[in-house]
Amino acid sequence: MDQAQVMKREQEDWTRLYHKTLKGIETMINVQRMLKDMKKIAEETNTTITEMEGTILTTSINNRTMNATNITQISEDLRYLIQSDMDNRAFQIQWMLADELDHYKGKNNKYVDDNIKEIQDLYMDEEQKEKGTIENEEIILVRPYEVSSSTTSTSSTSFISDEVENLTKYMKFVKTPSQTRIFRPPPHYQSLKSQGEQDPMFWKEVAKAFLENKGNTDTSRNGQQIAMYQGGPPHEPYFIAIDNRDQIIIGPNKKTVAMYMVGELEVLI
C-alpha cells in the first residue's frame, strides 16, 4: 500500500469514528430526555395509584391482600425509577464522549475543529454541568455532512459511503411498492446524518450514490439501455433507476420502471 493509500485510509478511519462519536452524543441527549420523561410519567403514575389505593382495596372482596401487595410493589418500583440517577448517568456519558473529541482536533479541518470547540465549550460550562443537562441541544444535533472548504473530497465521499451502506441494510426490509413512484426515504428510515432523511438534496445525493454503488441489473426499452438496482426478496422484488432529470424512481417490476424512463408512463409523486 503506497503512502497516498495509507493517508486516504487514515482520513476515512478518523472521520468515521468522529461522526460516530457525535452520533453517540446526540443519541445520549435523546436518551436523557426520554429518561426524564419516564421519571415524570412514573411520578404521575405513582400519584394516581396512591390516590386510587383506597378505592381499589374497598372494592376488593376476594383479593384484598393480593391487590394490596401488588399496589405496594408497583409503588416501590415507581419510586425506585423516580429516585434513580439514570438521567444524570446519561449526561455523564455525553460529557465523556465530548471529551473524546480531543482525538480529532488538528486534522487540518476547520469545520471539525470549530464544531469540537463549540460542543466542548458547552459541556465545560459550569452552569450546564451543575444542571446536568444541555438545554440547547441543537448545537449537538450536528450536521456532519456540512463540510467546510478545507474538508477533503475523500472524507466527504466516506460519509456518503457510510450512508449508502446504512441505506442498503434498511432496503433489505422495505416492502415492494404496488406502483411506480418517486423514490423517497422509506417509512421509519433514519439517516446517519441528523434528520438527513428530511433533507431532499441530501437524500438525492445518497440515493444516486446508492444506485451507482449498488446497481446490479439493467434492461433496455426502445433501444435505450437502463441501469437499475434490484432489491427485495426474489418473489417480491423492487427496481430503482434514475432518469435524465435526476429523479430517482422505484417500482414493482423492470417493465414499469423502464416505461417511465422512456416516457411511456407517468410516475406517482
pLDDT in tens, 210-247: 877 665 677 777 777 777 878 777 777 888 888 777 77
Residue 135 has pLDDT above 70, yes or no: no
Amino acid at 104: Y
Q: How far apart are CA 32 and CA 96, in angstroms?
A: 14
Q: How far apart are CA 84 and CA 134, in angstroms?
A: 19
pLDDT in tens, 7-30: 555 555 787 788 788 888 888 888
pLDDT at 243: 76
Does residue 201 or residue 41 have the better pLDDT? 41
CB 27 within 8 A of CB 173: no
Residue 144 has pLDDT above 90, yes or no: no
Cell of 144: 456532519
pLDDT in tens, 204-220: 888 888 877 665 677 77
CB 24 within 8 A of CB 97: yes
pLDDT at 204: 83
Q: What is the CA radius of gyration of the chain?
A: 26
> For residue 242, which phi and psi values (nearest 5 degrees)?
-120, 130
pLDDT in tens, 152-173: 333 445 567 778 877 877 777 6
Domain ranges of the chain: 11-139, 155-261
Angle between helical axes of 3-58 and 64-83 (0-180°, round to 10): 140
Beta pairing class for 181-182 and 217-221? unpaired
Cell of 140: 449537538
> For residue 83, which phi and psi values (nearest 5 degrees)?
-85, -5
pLDDT in tens, 41-66: 999 999 999 999 999 999 999 999 99
pTM, rounded to two decimals = 0.49
